[in-house]
């Protein structure tokens, strides 16, 4: 019961912070999600140390910051400076590794690059979507609603009557029953977006577009979740971190978003500008 209360309080705080970031201020969003990017990179670094590796930390944190900022401020006149700085960081990582004389230099180098692609780029895309020329903060809210609803339904349905494992080798608790119930329930609920005035000016003009939007998010979310489970299983940890009591770490909370955000964004762009 105590854990449920802690989990609920943390979840409400997390949801409030996300929604506030989407609608209150571009710079609030930037600093909040930049922080998430750094925390995600740090969590990955901390997990990788468990395999007797000694990966770099400072340069990957700088690279993550630059990549996130480059995507977020892609329309800024400072973009060329950010790209140049990113290239320098990317070149420094293998250069520094040569002098560290560890047993697994290539693993360290690849591990240093991964968070910038896996964590920083998707979070930057969410910011670009919400506050760039594409300004679709209502769509970003819809993205989070679909992810949260799908995750919640999958967890509840899987806990109640999940028997057939979705991908037992990677994530023993996820079931086909949970996935199917959540997929149907979330898809059916997503139809409501077409009738809510708040979501009128999103560029979607039909129920079919909303259904495909939700379907793509759910499929991508599932793979995002499984990939993060795959990483954690590789390092032998249950949670990526402890910063969110009852929920784990930043990677645990954003694993679905890392895959869903780019897919949803590009689908929205196609609908807006090509259909």
Do 176 and 164 meet the contact criterion of CB atoms below 8 Å apart?
yes
Residue with tokens 């705080």: 13
Q: Tell me what pLDDT residue 189 has.
A: 95
The span from the CA of 72 to the CA of 32, in Å, is 12
The span from the CA of 78 to the CA of 166, in Å, is 45
Q: Tell me what pLDDT residue 162 has.
A: 76
Which of the 8 DSSP states describes residue 163?
Answer: -
pLDDT bin (cut points 50, 70, 90) of residue 188 is: very high
Max Cα-Cα span within the chain: 61
Do 241 and 250 meet the contact criterion of CB atoms below 8 Å apart?
yes
Strand partners, 175: 165
With a CB cutoff of 8 Å and minimum separation 6, the contacts of 216 are 260, 263, 264, 267
Predicted confidence (pLDDT) at residue 167 exceeds the cutoff of 90: no
pLDDT bin (cut points 50, 70, 90) of residue 88 is: very high
- The pair of structure tokens assigned to 213 is 């939007």
pLDDT bin (cut points 50, 70, 90) of residue 2 is: low
Region 144-172: mean pLDDT is 89
Q: Tell me what pLDDT residue 242 has.
A: 86
Q: Tell me what pLDDT residue 100 has.
A: 85
- The separation between the first and the last C-alpha atoms of the chain, rounded to the nearest angstrom, is 50
Region 237-266: mean pLDDT is 90
Q: Tell me what pLDDT residue 216 has.
A: 97
Region 92-96: mean pLDDT is 93
Q: Tell me what pLDDT residue 184 has.
A: 96
Strand partners, 244: 248
Region 199-220: mean pLDDT is 91
Q: Tell me what pLDDT residue 174 has.
A: 87
CA torsion, points 219, 126, 271, 217, in degrees to nearest 10? 10
Do 183 and 218 meet the contact criterion of CB atoms below 8 Å apart?
yes
- The pair of structure tokens assigned to 254 is 């954003």
Q: Between vectors from CA 183 to CA 156 and to CA 260, what angle results, nearest 5°?
A: 100
Which class for 10: exposed (0-12), middle (13-18), buried (19 or more C-beta within 10 A)?
middle
DSSP letters spanning 117-130: IIIIHHHHHHHHHH
pLDDT bin (cut points 50, 70, 90) of residue 251 is: very high
Predicted confidence (pLDDT) at residue 107 exceeds the cutoff of 90: no
Q: Tell me what pLDDT residue 218 has.
A: 97
- The pair of structure tokens assigned to 64 is 């993550």
Q: Tell me what pLDDT residue 147 has.
A: 96
- The pair of structure tokens assigned to 201 is 């000016």
Give the three-class secondary structure for 226.
helix
Predicted confidence (pLDDT) at residue 69 exceeds the cutoff of 90: yes
Region 210-218: mean pLDDT is 96
Radius of gyration of the chain (CA): 19
| Higher-confidence position of 200 and 214 | 214
Q: What is the pLDDT of residues 110-146, one digit of tens each?
A: 889 999 999 999 999 999 999 877 767 899 999 999 9
Q: What is the pLDDT of residues 9-38, one digit of tens each?
A: 888 888 999 999 999 889 999 999 999 999
Region 190-210: mean pLDDT is 89
């Amino acid at each position: 019961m105590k854990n449920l209360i802690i989990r609920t309080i943390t979840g409400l705080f997390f949801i409030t912070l996300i929604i506030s970031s989407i609608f209150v201020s571009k710079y609030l969003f930037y600093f909040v999600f930049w922080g998430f990017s750094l925390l995600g990179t740090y969590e990955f670094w901390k997990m990788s140390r468990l395999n007797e590796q000694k990966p770099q930390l400072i340069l990957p944190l700088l690279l993550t910051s630059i990549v996130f900022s480059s995507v977020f401020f892609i329309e800024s006149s400072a973009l060329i400076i950010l790209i140049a700085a990113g290239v320098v960081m990317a070149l420094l990582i293998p250069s520094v590794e040569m002098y560290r004389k560890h047993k697994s230099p290539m693993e360290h180098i690849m591990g240093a690059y991964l968070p910038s692609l896996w964590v920083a780029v998707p979070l930057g895309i969410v910011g670009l979507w919400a506050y760039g020329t594409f300004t679709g903060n209502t769509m970003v809210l819809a993205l989070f609603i679909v992810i949260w609803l799908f995750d919640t339904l999958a967890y509840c349905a899987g806990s109640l009557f999940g028997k057939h494992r979705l991908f037992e080798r990677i994530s023993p608790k996820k079931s086909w029953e949970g996935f199917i119930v959540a997929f149907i329930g979330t898809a059916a609920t997503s139809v409501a977006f077409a009738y809510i005035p708040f979501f009128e000016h999103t560029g979607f003009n039909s129920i079919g577009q909303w259904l495909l939007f939700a379907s793509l998010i759910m499929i991508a979310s599932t793979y995002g979740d499984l990939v993060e489970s795959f990483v954690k299983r590789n390092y032998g940890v249950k949670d990526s971190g402890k910063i969110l009591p009852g929920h784990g770490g930043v990677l645990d909370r954003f694993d679905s978003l890392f895959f869903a955000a780019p897919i949803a964004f590009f689908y929205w762009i196609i609908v807006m500008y090509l259909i």
